[in-house]
Amino acid sequence: MPLSETIRTIRLAMKSLLLHKLRSGLTMLGIVFGVFSVIAMLAIGEGASNQGQQQVLALGATNIIIVTVKPPADSQSSGGGSRGGGGRGFVVPQYGLLRTDYDLLTKTLSTITGAVRMREIPSEARYLQRTINARLVGSTTEYLDMNHLAVLRGRFLSDEDEAEVANVAVLGAETASTLFPFEDPIGQSILVRNARYMVVGVMRSRTSSAAIGGSMSGQEFNKDIYIPLSTFRSRIGDTIFTRVSGTFSAEQVELNQITLKVKNREDVVPTSEVVKESLKRSHAGKPDYDVIVPLELLRQADQIRQIFNIVLGSIAAISLVVGGIGIMNIMLATVTERTREIGIRRALGARQRDIINQFLTETIVLSGSGGVIGILMGLATPLAFFGIKHIVHNYVLDRSSGESPMAKIFTDMEPQVALWSLPVAFGISVTIGIIFGIYPARSAARMDPIEALRHE
């Protein structure tokens, strides 16, 4: 079709639509809100996905976490008599990560920029008559930054504490508040497993971490007690004995966890494969450890985002289809109203193709205009979301007794408009207009000119 004829057809289509402004506007609303919902839902999905990925990054997406796992075949043996001599005795199972594993990995891997080893056991801590069941953690000064912890008062463990095998301890927030509800814990001594430790620091409260992978449970940092790893080995040792109802049990573990920090995200997966091969050889294939790569969670989050976008986009596309049905309905009514006009045009020499082009152009103009308005509304989604969050935060949450987890997720999320969704949504809107405009256009073109001229 020549350009001049195309321009003339578009002008005629706009003139026909403007003759019924209200009807055309209401018909356009289906496309407007359809395009807007596609862009807005994808923006919300993108923002939620980015928020989840930032949370994973905060956990340490460039870290490789190696944890001790007790093999199913290695269960603790127990006996009711004395150990050794003529008693029945028991065998102490030995499993898990070794100090030689830490030395091997830190000396042979060139892609890591930091490493932290730790040993932990549940223990009862006491100060005067107050007690708490806490987690006793033996580690080094690097443990603070690797786990994104912050000191509230005092200090954390130092290299001097590790070198001097010092009897010092740093308390988690809940441990400190339970043992010292009134006193200042700094400088006080607590009793843990028949050994006294001087408190040198108190940690800032932190939300419990969620479980990562299938072998690492969540951690309650607020109930921790941190001591130097050398002190842990000297005071407690590798073998832990417990006695319950006259029955002894024991296990021997050197390290519970080794965390390696990799320089670049691209090197995380290759480095983890090297770690797995190295530990497989040093442990002779014994399944007493697990290698966890948090970076894999980013990939899973990205897959979830894609699924989320598909689901939300599909739901939003339904409104576009509904808008298309509205366009078809209106165009069919328009064809009926303009039957005599069609007959006159055919009598003056218009071809069926000309009639089809005329009515199809009207549907394209209608859906295209709605698509443009919908895109403009979609681009304003972050601003509108910000206004809603402001209202929720100032007028809803401030009047409530506390902020629910769902409300916190809502207020923390920032919608991000996906640029690729703009042409996609507009293209879908025009396509919907063409698909649902073909039938009315063909119905108009197939009218008998003589019968059309007789129409009143």
> Per-residue pLDDT for 6 more than 60?
yes
- For the entire predicted model, the pTM comes to 0.59
Predicted local confidence at residue 48, as pLDDT = 74
Percent of the chain topping pLDDT 90: 31
Lowest-pLDDT choice from 142-156, 203-217, 239-253, 340-354:
203-217
Q: Would you place residue 11 in the very low, low, confident or very high pLDDT band (cuts 50, 70, 90)?
A: confident
Backbone Cα Rg of the chain: 35
Predicted local confidence at residue 228, as pLDDT = 96
The CA–CA distances, whole Å, from 433 to 303, 334, 429 equal 32, 15, 6
The mean of the pLDDT values for the chain is 81
> Per-residue pLDDT for 44 more than 70?
yes
Q: Would you place residue 75 in the very low, low, confident or very high pLDDT band (cuts 50, 70, 90)?
A: very low
DSSP string, 150-203: -EEEE----HHHHHHT--EEEE-HHHHHHH-SSS--TT-EEEETTEEEEEEEEE
DSSP SS3 for 108? helix
What ranges in 380-415 are assigned the alpha helix state H? 381-391, 405-412
The CA–CA distances, whole Å, from 379 to 272, 290, 319, 455 equal 41, 46, 18, 47
Question: Could you identify the residue written with the tokens 């008599």?
Answer: 81
Predicted local confidence at residue 406, as pLDDT = 53
Check residues 305 and 160 and name the one with the higher pLDDT. 160
- The rounded distance, in Å, linking the Cα atoms of 450 and 287 is 88
How much is the average pLDDT of 280-291?
89
Predicted local confidence at residue 211, as pLDDT = 46
> Per-residue pLDDT for 213 more than 70?
no
* Sign of the torsion formed by the C-alpha atoms of 406, 407, 411 and 417: positive
> Per-residue pLDDT for 374 more than 60?
yes
pLDDT by residue (tens digit) across 423-438? 888 888 888 888 888 8
Predicted local confidence at residue 404, as pLDDT = 53
pLDDT by residue (tens digit) across 163-208? 999 999 999 999 999 999 999 999 999 999 989 999 999 999 876 6
Check residues 75 and 20 and name the one with the higher pLDDT. 20
Identify residue 425 by its one-letter amino acid code: A
> Per-residue pLDDT for 277 more than 80?
yes
pLDDT by residue (tens digit) across 306-362? 777 677 677 767 777 877 888 888 888 877 777 888 888 878 888 888 888 888 888
Q: Would you place residue 384 in the very low, low, confident or very high pLDDT band (cuts 50, 70, 90)?
A: confident
What ranges in 90-142 are assigned the alpha helix state H? 99-108
Check residues 251 and 219 and name the one with the higher pLDDT. 251
- The rounded distance, in Å, linking the Cα atoms of 162 and 140 is 7
- The rounded distance, in Å, linking the Cα atoms of 199 and 15 is 83
- The rounded distance, in Å, linking the Cα atoms of 169 and 229 is 11
SS3 of 38-92: HHHHHHHHHHHHHHHHHHHHHHHCCEEEEEECCCCCCCCCCCCCCCCCCCCCCCC
pLDDT by residue (tens digit) across 395-452? 555 555 445 555 555 566 678 887 888 888 888 888 888 888 888 888 888 887 777 6
Look at the chain and count its residues. 456
